[in-house]
Every structure is written in C-alpha cells, then in structure tokens.
C-alpha cells in the first residue's frame, strides 16, 4: 500500500525547537521521511523523543521551526515571511491524515472494540454507521482482533487494547503513522503481538515514524534510525550503521545500557 502523492518527501521537519518554560526539550531537529519509509527514533528517557513526535502532528506546538506533510505546511499558514498558527478546525483537517498510537491505549471504556474504531470515521469523516462499522471490522481484522470485536476494553489484555488502538488509527486511512513507545505499557509476554502487527503494516509500505526502546525491532523494521540525546540528533543513518557500528560515544553507551538490561 505505497502512498501515491506529490513528488518529494512525505514529511519534512525543519529546525524544530520546543521549550516548556525555561526547559528547552528540542534544540533544532531536522528530519525527512520519504513515502513508504520507516524511521525509528531511539534515545534515553527524557531526550525529547515523544515531544518530537507530538510536535510532528501539532499535539505540541513547536516553539520554532516548521513541519511539512505531503508538501503542505502543517499546523500553520504562511503569508510572505509571516507564519500564523492554524485554528483548531483547520488543524483537525490536517491531523486526519496522521494516525497516532500512544503509550497508553485511551480506548473508550463504554464502547466495544468495533465502536471504538468506528467512532472516529463517523465523527471526523461523516461516515454512516453501517459504513463505519464495515471499515472498523476490516481494520480489526488487519490487526488480528476480529475474534474480540464485541468485547469491551476491560475484557481485553493490554496487547489486545493496543491492537484496537492501532486499528483506530488505521481507520483514519492516514498518510503517516506515528507510534510513541507503543509497547512500553505492556507486560513482556504481550509485546511481541503488537510488534508483529507494526511489522506487518511496515511491510505493506506504510509511512511511519516509530519512537521505541525495542532496539532489535528498530533494526528490523526501520529504513533509517535517529539517535536523539538531550534534544539534538547525535547520530542517524541506516540501522546497520547506527545500531551495529555506532560512531558516537553517547550512542555506544546507550546501546551498552540497553543490552545490559
């Protein structure tokens, strides 16, 4: 399912800075993602990985810098040299093209799996209930959750809830998928089932940015790996280069720590 769209990269992140008060979390980050490619972002806790992901879809408004998605300025409009933040309605239109999967699952507890997936297309895209249910069932089948379609979140394991959350993001039919540590809240025995689904989506040719601490998985799934440390990109490149032959001492120390744990 390769994306067909404009020429040029799908995603461009240009000199993104993000501060919370006096704390500067991102200190000038650049990133390019081509259509159908997968970028993994790794690094120690607190280095700015999740903040970077949330800036990409403007859940956090960057302090400075710009995002382009599919050739279109994201989250703001430009007139000459002046940039103006979009209003929530304009932003919602753009965000509909980005599927986000969080550390937590954030499913509606009063809705079953089908309805958790169908509610977005009904509210955002105006689909009728029958059409939204059909789409939800197809997305749940894609993440191997057809057998739990009528179950409520409290009756699902953490891995199953996360797969429903992935189906919910897929139901937007997004151009770009963002995964923010999708396995960090799971028990070890449930991690594999979620990673397998993400791997299947990657093999379909979906465009994705994945923040993860699963280094072996990043090596397997990504075309490009970024090592973020203290708000800056310290090293990046193909996974066999970054993970197998790290050049920077900070990255070598980080990988040693991961292996020891």
User: Is the distance from CB of 58 to CB of 33 less than 8 angstroms?
Assistant: no
Q: What is the pLDDT of residue 65?
A: 97
Beta-carbon-side half-sphere exposure of residue 106 (alpha carbons within 13 Å): 10
Instruction: Give 215-243 pLDDT, tens digit per residue.
Output: 999 999 999 999 999 999 999 999 999 99
| pTM, entire model | 0.93
Provide the residue count of the chain. Answer: 261
User: Is the distance from CB of 119 to CB of 111 less than 8 angstroms?
Assistant: yes
Instruction: Give 73-113 pLDDT, tens digit per residue.
Output: 999 999 998 999 999 999 999 999 999 999 989 999 999 99
């Amino acid at each position: 399912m390769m994306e067909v769209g404009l020429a040029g990269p799908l995603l461009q992140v240009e000199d993104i800075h993000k501060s919370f008060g006096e704390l500067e979390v991102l200190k000038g980050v650049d990133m390019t993602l081509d259509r159908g490619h997968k970028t993994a972002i790794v690094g120690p806790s607190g280095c700015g990985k999740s903040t970077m992901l949330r800036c990409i879809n403007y859940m956090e408004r960057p302090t400075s810098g710009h995002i382009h998605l599919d050739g279109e300025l994201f989250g703001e409009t430009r007139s000459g040299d002046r940039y103006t933040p979009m209003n929530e309605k304009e932003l919602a239109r753009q965000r509909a093209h980005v599927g986000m999967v969080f550390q937590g699952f954030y499913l509606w507890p009063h809705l079953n799996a089908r309805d958790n997936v169908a509610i977005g297309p009904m509210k955002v895209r105006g689909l009728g209930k029958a059409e939204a249910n059909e789409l939800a069932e197809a997305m749940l089948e894609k993440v191997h959750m057809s057998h739990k379609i009528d179950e409520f979140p409290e009756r699902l394991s953490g891995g199953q809830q996360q797969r429903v959350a992935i189906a919910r993001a897929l139901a937007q039919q997004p151009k770009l998928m963002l995964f923010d540590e999708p396995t960090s809240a799971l028990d070890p025995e449930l991690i594999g089932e979620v990673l397998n689904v993400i791997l299947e989506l990657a093999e379909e040719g979906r465009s994705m940015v994945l923040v993860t601490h699963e280094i072996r998985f990043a090596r397997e799934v990504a075309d490009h790996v970024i090592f973020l440390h203290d708000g800056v990109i310290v090293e990046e490149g193909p996974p066999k280069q970054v993970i197998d032959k790290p050049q920077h001492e900070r990255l070598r120390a980080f990988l040693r720590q991961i292996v020891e744990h």
